Amino acid sequence: MSHGLSPLTTWKLRQASSDTESCMAALDGAAAFERLTDMTHTDACHITGRITLMSVADAHIAPLETRCATALRLAMWAHHDLRPLAQDIMHTDLAQIDHIGSYNCRQMRTLSGTNERWSTHATADAIDIAGFRFADGTKLRLINDWTKDTPGASFLKSARNSACTWFPLTLSPAYNALHADHFHLQNTGWGLCR
């Protein structure tokens, strides 16, 4: 796969995220994916610019149903940050990004139960990342490795920090107990990086 992926400015990324055709064009070459027809389940639950995503920046992804905008931000993050960080900190290639889903027709979870509001997962505007695998066989899990004093923990902290460049809202185990085992990366939001 070629890496003709130049850093999109925030403005361009925002525009590509809101327009399906520009998003598909930007994602082409940056990811392996199959385009699907848009899906509407209910008013609250739908996927616009629907795809099955299989890899970003040569890092394998277990086939994931999501929307193009989510995949594009993930691809930018993987290409511009995760791959270089893997080299610098882990001294090996990033091989796989382990996710625990994107689309999920559900309401928001809070520490006190369920909120009235719909989750951004109901429109596939978020993806949950549980860990990473590397070419040398190393496997990192947020639940196990986040709090350690290891290169792997440094990789995870740097991954979280750099995710905030590409996703308007990024939540990590540092946010609350609901996120102890994953990063919640969201297309929409107001610069929350925790």
Using the rule CB under 5 A, give the single segment among 18-26, 84-92, 148-156, 181-189 that binds Zn ion: 181-189
Nearest approach in angstroms of CB 103 to Zn ion is 11
Give exposure, 87-126, as e/b (b: 16+ Cβ within 10 Å): eebbeeebbbbbbebbbebeeeeeeeeeeeebbbbbbbbb
Comparison of 135 and 178: residue with beta carbon closer to Zn ion: 178
Nearest approach in angstroms of CB 112 to Zn ion is 17
Q: How many residues bind Zn ion (CB under 5 A)?
A: 3
Q: How far is CA 176 from the centre of its chain?
A: 18
184 touches Zn ion by CB under 5 A: yes
Using the rule CB under 5 A, give the single segment among 5-13, 53-61, 84-92, 183-191 that binds Zn ion: 183-191
Strands (E), the chain: 31-35, 39-40, 46-47, 50-56, 59-67, 94-99, 107-110, 113-118, 126-134, 139-141, 169-171, 183-186, 192-193
99 touches Zn ion by CB under 5 A: no
Nearest approach in angstroms of CB 72 to Zn ion is 18
Q: Which residues, other chains included, contact 88 with Cβ-Cβ below 8 Å and sequence gap of 6+?
A: none
Comparison of 95 and 100: residue with beta carbon closer to Zn ion: 100
Q: How would DSSP label each residue in 83-110?
A: HHHIIIIISS-EEEEEE--S----EEEE
Query: Contacting Zn ion (CB under 5 A), which of 8, 128, 146, 169?
Result: 128
Using the rule CB under 5 A, give the single segment among 14-22, 78-86, 123-131, 158-166 that binds Zn ion: 123-131
Comparison of 83 and 121: residue with beta carbon closer to Zn ion: 121
Query: Contacting Zn ion (CB under 5 A), which of 126, 129, 140, 142?
Result: 126
145 touches Zn ion by CB under 5 A: no
Positive or negative, the CA dihedral 59, 65, 70, 71 is: positive
125 touches Zn ion by CB under 5 A: no
Token digits for 34? Answer: 């199959």
- Contacting positions for Zn ion (CB under 5 A): 126, 128, 184
